[in-house]
Amino acid sequence: MAVLIDGKKISQEIKEELKEKINQLKSKGEPLPGLVTILVGDNPASQFYVNSKSKACTEIGMLSKIERLPNNISENELLGLIQKYNNDINYHGILVQLPLPSHIDESKVIETIDPKKDVDGFHPINVGNLVIGKETYYPCTPYGIIELLQRYKILTTGKHVVVVGRSNIVGKPIANMLLQKRDGANAIVTICHSAAKDLSVYTKNADILIAAIGRANFIKSNMVKEGVVVIDVGINRIDDSKSEKGYRIVGDVDFADVEKIASYITPVPGGVGLMTIAMLLKNTYQAYININSRE
């Protein structure tokens, strides 16, 4: 039976570590790290995520502000607001909650954020630094995966990591992070995706399997080898008449099936998802340090 990788426990540890650092700043009368989150429209899922991020900031003593904008705001108005926060010394991290309405160019929005305040790690400059192995702000979900592997002392050097999924948010960045020649990485990495005729050809060879494809319970025990480390990034809603809500959240991995032969496995919920906000806070604190050291 697999060891459960507890994202709730590790994310709480990270928040406590950051809270201690912020308390030290307070005791010295220093200005505090600040994060502004910009929300366009009234998408319920986006509202939930934004509120969760703001609450996490408050918990550790970080400054937090939510800019709630109407769905019909013009692209130029949004870009102008981002520029305002690029120049605001009180906020060290800027996050624009995605997705955006169709009339707004997502790429243009991301590129307008000052790379020094891009705590989501999506700006092309930060993506480029990630690929060539320079220090940068890592996208929060992949960063959370790296943190889980390190804190559970799961060796990655020389291991075959198979990433199922090629998104800009998870698949591509985690692959690039894990192949870098450094501690906590230095892996042999394979990326596979929907174009493969048979994904199991690749997944069966994984020492560490990272599933990020958005297909509920897709990875079964017959697709992996004994002793595999399984990191499940999927968050899928499936109907469940036994649940009060009428649904439940599951990952991309059939947990009950795969945990019997895995050595380590993340649950859904309670695994990678909780790490995403913790790493956003860590990026914001690092942005604060970086910005103040340049001044």
217 with 253, same domain: the answer is: yes
Do the Cβ atoms of 66 and 39 come closer than 8 Å? Answer: yes
145 and 242 co-located in one domain: yes
Percent of the chain predicted with pLDDT > 70: 99
Three-point CA angle 91, 129, 195, nearest 5°? 110
Residue 271's pLDDT is what? 96
3-class DSSP assignment, residue 96:
strand
Let me know the angle formed at the C-alpha of 149 by 62 and 158, rounded to the nearest 5 degrees: 140
Where in the sequence is the domain holding 34, given as residue range(s)? 29-114
Return the CATH number at 163: 3.40.50.720
Query: Are 223 and 203 spatial neighbours (Cβ–Cβ below 8 Å)?
Result: yes
| Domain count of the fold of the chain | 2
Tokens found for residue 278: 């913790």
Q: Which two tokens stand for residue 283?
A: 């990026």
Question: 114-171, pLDDT tens digit by residue?
Answer: 999 999 999 999 999 999 999 999 999 999 999 999 999 999 999 999 999 999 999 9
Considering the domain boundaries, does residue 123 fall inside one?
no
Could you tell me if 123 and 111 are in contact, meaning their C-beta atoms sit under 8 angstroms apart?
Answer: yes
| Domain match, 34 and 73 both | yes
Question: Does the pLDDT of residue 190 top 60, yes or no?
Answer: yes
In a domain, 13, yes or no: no
Closest CA to 276 of 39, 133, 85, 98: 98
Please count the other Cβ atoms lying within 10 Å of the Cβ belonging to residue 276: 23
**Count of beta carbons in the 10 Å neighbourhood of residue 266:** 31
Half-sphere exposure of 135 (CA within 13 A, CB side): 5
pLDDT per residue as tens digits for the range 96-107: 999 999 999 999
Residue 102 and residue 178 in one domain: no
Based on the fold, state whether residues 210 and 252 are members of the same structural domain: yes
**Residues with catalytic roles:** 53, 97, 120
C-alpha radius of gyration, the chain, whole number: 19
Q: Residue 145 corresponds to which tokens in the numbers above?
A: 């995966």
- pLDDT(244) > 70: yes
Q: Are 105 and 147 in a shared domain?
A: no
295 pLDDT above the threshold of 60: no
Give the model's pLDDT for residue 47. Answer: 93
Residues 265 and 166 in one domain: yes
Domain identity same for 146 and 105: no
Distance, CA of 141 to CA of 220 (rounded, Å): 23
Residue 283 lies in a domain: no
Closest C-alpha among 58, 79, 54 to residue 69:
79
**Spatial separation of the C-alpha atoms in residues 209 and 230, rounded to whole Å:** 5
User: 119 in a domain, yes or no?
Assistant: no
Is residue 127 domain-resident? no
Kindly report the CATH number assigned to the domain that includes residue 52: 3.40.50.10860
Q: Using a cut of 0.85, tell me whether the model's pTM lies above it.
A: yes
> What is the dihedral angle through the alpha carbons of 77, 81, 86, 88, rounded to the nearest 10 degrees?
150
- Is residue 229 located within the same domain as residue 144? yes
Q: Which of 212-216, 264-268, 291-295 comes out lowest in average pLDDT? A: 291-295
